[in-house]
Structure 1
């Protein structure tokens, strides 16, 4: 039985730049980093209410690693999708899907980070209801 997400993994050709970009986006430094033969190979951040993990792998050590945005999109909970979306764009992301209301209390948007990964943001009232329970 699936118990929940442990780590969402993104990929980057320049792991040092990705580490710096995500530290700026998240407002925290990674809690874990690993080098292979002196080359940055992996960093991991703990994020949010449930301390979910976001790992970023140097593509050099992750074959095969996707080169194009696509596939599944992981959505991270935010309080204001429009503000989060605009901030990500200001930090160098590009539009993947502009904010869209999908129903009462349910708004999503997504961007492509500077490293080619799709980053989704979502406001979902149900998430807040579960968190408060």
Structure 2
């Protein structure tokens, strides 16, 4: 019998941007915080920045696109990470007002699940979602504290 692989949770989600200072300005405005990790440190221009966001302080890193792996798509593609939000239409409206482009309008997926995607100004797909399962997990974690 083989042992199973245990995934403990997402450690870091990386996005790409050709202009890291512009990405830092945009995401700092979206999140209302500055990145906690910047490499290399000032006064050098950053090649990587990282934020801790959400209820569980998940890491969102933004990497200079010159370091993208060979074969990385030049247009929005790949896996979509959906971040839980309380109000999907309001989140999409805010992101679009900040320069994102709506890719998929808010869609009711049934049983309380609502999803939408935008493309940030740097070409990355950003998913937002209302997810009842997320709320159940968060409530369970709060009870354990």
**2:62 corresponds to which of 41, 50, 56:** 56
CA displacement at 1:29 relative to structure 2:
0.8
- Residue 34 of structure 1: aligned partner: 39
* SS of alignment partner, residue 40 of structure 1: coil
- Residue 101 of structure 2: aligned partner: 94
**1:80 corresponds to which of 81, 87, 102:** 87
- Residue 44 of structure 1: aligned partner: 50
Mapping for residues 106-117 of structure 1, pairs under 5 Å: 106-117=113-124
CA displacement at 1:104 relative to structure 2:
2.0
CA displacement at 1:74 relative to structure 2:
0.2
Which protein is richer in strand relative to its size? 1
**2:110 corresponds to which of 97, 100, 103:** 103
* Structure 2 spans left out of the alignment, 5+ residues: 1-5, 141-145
| 56-65 or 88-97: bigger deviation | 56-65
- Residue 20 in structure 1 maps to residue 20 in structure 2: no
**2:130 corresponds to which of 123, 130, 133:** 123
* SS of alignment partner, residue 38 of structure 1: coil
CA displacement at 1:61 relative to structure 2:
2.9
CA-atom RMSD in angstroms: 1.5
When the two structures are aligned, how many residues end up with a matched partner? 133
In the alignment, the residues of structure 1 paired with residue 69 and residue 18 of structure 2 have an alpha-carbon distance, to the nearest angstrom, of: 12
* SS of alignment partner, residue 39 of structure 1: coil
* Structure 1 spans left out of the alignment, 5+ residues: none
* SS of alignment partner, residue 50 of structure 1: coil
- Residue 7 of structure 2: aligned partner: 2
